Amino acid sequence: MMRLVHILVIAALISAATYVYKIKFDSTLQAERVAKLRNELRHEHDVVANLRGEWARLQTPARIQGLAERHLKLQPMQTNQFDTFDNLPPRPPEVPPQEDPIASMIAPGQKAPTETTGSIANRGVTR
């Protein structure tokens, strides 16, 4: 009887040791994954920082000015290019709005148009 208890205790110790080893192995594996993801995240932060620096360099006014001078045939603005408001053309006359047949059908109290639209003929439908 005592022998059976010893064998059961030894089996329980071996299974407990195996379970603890499995947990340790899984936690080590997870720690490696976390470290790898942290390295990837740090790398992505560095890439974003580099791209922001490059963007700041590309949008500097001095660089844009140099590109404009090199590739565009622009001339400096002269003071005689401006004119007064008196020399503007007059505004076009306001055109009264046209009567909208669809709006008159929708709006209450207005007379509906007599002409029919679409491909279906009026077959004596009264309103």
Residue 91: inside a domain? no
Residue 52: inside a domain? yes
Give, in order, the Cα–Cα distances in Å from 109 to each of 58, 104, 114, 124: 63, 8, 15, 22
Q: How far apart are CA 84 and CA 108, in angstroms?
A: 49
Residue 32: inside a domain? yes
- Amino acid 89: pLDDT: 87
Q: Could you tell me which residue, 110 or 32, shows the higher pLDDT? A: 32
Residue 23: inside a domain? yes
Residue 123: inside a domain? no
Q: How many domains does the chain have?
A: 1
Residue 92: inside a domain? no
pLDDT of 31-74, one tens digit each? 999 999 999 999 999 999 999 999 999 999 999 999 988 999 88
Percentage of the chain exceeding pLDDT 70: 81
Angle, vertex CA 74, rays to CA 62 and CA 79, nearest 5:
100
Residue 114: inside a domain? no
Is the pTM of the predicted complex or chain greater than 0.85? no
Residue 83: inside a domain? no
Query: Which residue range forms the structural domain that includes residue 65?
Result: 10-71
